[in-house]
Amino acid sequence: MFSVARVFSFSYGHRLYRYEGKCRRLHGHNARVRVEVQGEDCAALDDQGMALDFVKLKDTLGRWLDESLDHRVFLAREDPLVPLLTDAGDPPICFDGNPTAEAFAKLIYDRALEEGLNVVRVDFWETDKCRATYSRP
């Protein structure tokens, strides 16, 4: 089986609502994301000798990460900061739960599917030392 992966990075702000640790405070991260995909036929390569052109990953998922997630603030929908930031003209992106590394990994996995990518796994590093993974069930 062939698969390919590409690494992306973006910056974001968030906080964990109703959390007792220091992540309850609004703060930022420089995230690193590794997206692994298979080609349409995971046992064969295309006529260029590729499972999937890396450019396709950059032009689909990479563009979305850059245009939609980079330099945005992510909050739980019930976080009282949501209306404050919205009223200030910079609405956050809301998650149904807390914007954890696990939630980002799942969000990016689901977007890869929407982009038509045969995604296998998404690794999301919130810091150099902390990673969450969502992979094909």
For Zn ion, the binding residues (CB under 5 A) are 23
Assess contact for 112 and 122: CB atoms under 8 A. yes
Q: Between residues 23 and 94, which has the closer beta carbon with respect to Zn ion?
A: 23
What type of residue sits at position 121? R
Give min distance, CB of 76 to Zn ion, in A: 13
Give min distance, CB of 31 to Zn ion, in A: 10
Give min distance, CB of 20 to Zn ion, in A: 14
Strands 72-76 and 93-95: parallel
CA dist., res. 19 & res. 10, Å (int): 24
Q: Let me know if 67 is exposed, middle or buried by CB neighbors in 10 A (0-12, 13-18, 19+).
A: exposed
Give min distance, CB of 86 to Zn ion, in A: 21
DSSP-assigned letter for residue 115 = T
Give min distance, CB of 34 to Zn ion, in A: 19
Q: Between residues 23 and 42, which has the closer beta carbon with respect to Zn ion?
A: 23
Q: Which residue is nearest to Zn ion (CB)?
A: 23
CA dist., res. 93 & res. 42, Å (int): 34
Q: Between residues 9 and 40, which has the closer beta carbon with respect to Zn ion?
A: 9
Assess contact for 5 and 35: CB atoms under 8 A. yes
Q: Between residues 23 and 81, which has the closer beta carbon with respect to Zn ion?
A: 23
Q: Between residues 22 and 137, which has the closer beta carbon with respect to Zn ion?
A: 22
